[in-house]
Amino acid sequence: MSDIQKLINNKKNNKFHSSKEINFIVKSYLNNKINSDDMTLWLNAIFDNSMNIDETVSYTSSIIKSGKKITFNNLDGYVIDKHSTGGIGDKVSLILGPILAACGCYVPMVVGRHLGHTGGTLDKLESIRGYNGLIGIDSFKKNVKNIGISIIGQTDEICPADRKIYALRDKTNTIASLPLICGSIMSKKISEGIEGLVLDIKYGNGAFLESKEEGVKLGKLLSLIGSKFDVNVKYLGTNMNQPLGNFAGLSCEIIESINCLKGKGTDDLMEVVFDLGQAACALAKINNAKEKMLNVISSGKAYEVFEKMVYEHGGDISNINCNYTDNIDIKAAESGKLQFINTKKIGEAVNFINELNGNKDNNAGAEFFKKSSDKINKGDVILRLFSNNMDNLRFAEKLAYESFTIN
């Protein structure tokens, strides 16, 4: 029996891993000394039997050590990041990051691609023509210093072990494991060289975590891990029992984010942005946070930061659009009160139509016209699916109709 098989059996029997054993697993998988089949068995064992706090800290540390840890020197502001556990239509990072930078913070942000039913911030940014989210650490640090923010994906330099494990978790349905979630989130954030972190813990039928209680448990665990690495963490919970904002997709979410930065955001979306922003400003010791955030939006400073960041990443937002050839309206079959009961289905539908012949269809997505508890009449359009492939839309249509009920 190999070493990894022994460790898998130990975890199946609820035995604890030492830090040395966890480091062996992470390092060996990264270096192809453990194959995907054995790693899947280990992930399943963790999914079923969890890890204690010491194991989770060791796992996080091993992921960090697989790459480089960034340090920032001689900055005249607080270094902070924001992270969300994911939800349908969640483009808060794209809005809040530039706002915080315009308020005087420095925001180094390492983001992921879509995982399970949720969209990925990097995928959305890459829908901007030319945007390079995989720049080197030196360019990343330069952008943070000069602009106040830089948003990149995981490269070979930052937590490469997490990138590899993250992809396997997505394929093997081992996403919703608190220790694995914590290790994935905190390793990237700690590697950024931040002083503070605000967390948006999503819960509900459109999130990985179903209940608010699970969200609190995760928030506490993430905060505890942060403290072990000298990062101050604040967490808030967001109800994701329905989509956030008016759009879900790729280019359409970038356009909505730009509108928010220009003062034209929806109430539900901006409420989350301002709540998290105030938590971030509290960590940074910035007073009158809400007023300052409103000022940088109304003055155009927040959008200017976003525009500069996109430019420095090679992107061109001068002609960004969301042109599509086909759409299907999802309509109410009867009158009554709308209730989204399985928002994940919308995420699955959007992810499905975002693929076109093996490539991303940046112009595909969904637009939402109604919210839960709205009174609607028979024939009202609840949401619209759009893309450049009608066959994809017809399949996604079935998923969309399964996402809500009318009482």
Residue 164 lies in a domain: yes
Instruction: For residue range 26-55, list pLDDT tens digits in order.
Output: 999 999 999 999 999 999 999 999 999 999
Integer Cα distance of 327 and 361 in angstroms: 13
151-156 average pLDDT score: 90
Gap between the Cα atoms of 46 and 116, Å rounded: 18
Q: Which pLDDT does position 196 carry in this prediction?
A: 98
Return the closest-CA partner of residue 233 out of 288, 293, 190, 175.
190
Is 282 inside any structural domain? yes
Q: Is 169 a catalytic residue?
A: yes
Catalytic residue among 11, 124, 163, 188: 188
Tell me: pLDDT of 346 over 90.
yes
Could you list the residue range(s) of the whole structural domain that residue 159 is in?
80-312
What percentage of the chain carries pLDDT values higher than 70?
100
Mean pLDDT, range 198-223, rounded to an integer: 92
The predicted pLDDT at position 358 comes to 77
User: Which residues lie closer than 8 Å to 100 by C-beta, 6 or more apart?
Assistant: 80, 82, 107, 148, 149, 277, 280, 281, 284
User: Do 219 and 307 share a domain, yes or no?
Assistant: yes
In a shared domain, residues 335 and 273: no
Residues contacting residue 88 through CB under 8 Å, at least 6 positions apart: 117, 118, 119, 206, 240, 243, 244, 248, 343, 344, 346, 347, 350
Residues 223 and 367 in one domain: no
Residue 61 in any domain: the answer is no
Helix 301-312 with 92-102: angle, nearest 10 deg: 110
Residues 178 and 256 in one domain: yes
Q: Which residues have C-beta within 8 Å of that of residue 10, sequence separation ≥ 6?
A: 17
The verdict on 136 and 239 lying in the same domain is: yes
Same structural domain, 250 and 333: no
Mean of all residue pLDDT scores within the chain: 95
The answer to the question of residue 104 being in a domain is yes
Which domain CATH number covers 287?
3.40.1030.10
Same domain, 281 and 162: yes
Active-site hit among 17, 58, 66, 82:
82
Domain check: are 43 and 93 in the same one? no
Residue 148 has pLDDT above 90, yes or no: yes
Q: How many helices (H) and strands (E) in the chain?
A: 16, 14
Tell whether 253 and 200 lie within a shared domain: yes
Residue 295 falls within a domain, yes or no? yes
The answer as to whether 58 is a domain residue is: no
Query: Is residue 17 among the annotated active site residues?
Result: no
pLDDT digits (tens, 9 = 90+) for 351-403: 999 987 778 899 999 999 999 999 999 999 999 999 999 999 999 999 999 99
Which pLDDT belongs to residue 291? 98
Residue 69 belongs to a domain: no
User: Is residue 86 very low, low, confident or very high in pLDDT (cuts 50, 70, 90)?
Assistant: confident
CA–CA separation, 311 and 13 (whole Å): 53
Q: Which of 121, 174, 177, 257 is catalytic?
A: 121
pLDDT band at residue 1 using 50, 70 and 90 as cut-offs: low
Q: Which of 114, 164, 169, 313 is catalytic?
A: 169
Q: Are the C-beta atoms of residues 369 and 387 closer than 8 Å to each other?
A: no
Active site residue 188: yes
In 32-72, alpha helices (H): 36-49, 53-65
Predicted pLDDT at 292: 98
- Could you give the number of structural domains in the chain? 3
CATH number at residue 346: 3.90.1170.30
228 is catalytic: no
Contact 391, 324 (CB under 8 A): no
305 and 349 assigned to the same domain: no
Residue 116's pLDDT band, with cuts at 50, 70 and 90, is: confident
Q: Residue 121 catalytic?
A: yes
Q: What mean pLDDT is predicted for residues 104-129?
A: 91
Q: Is residue 68 part of a domain?
A: no
Banded model confidence at residue 208, pLDDT cuts 50, 70, 90: confident
Indicate whether 88 and 11 sit together in one domain: no
Q: Is the pLDDT of residue 189 over 90?
A: yes
Catalytic residue, candidates 11, 83, 117, 124: 83
Q: 302 with 339, same domain?
A: no
Give the integer Cα–Cα distance in Å for 392 and 135: 33
3-state secondary structure of 198: strand
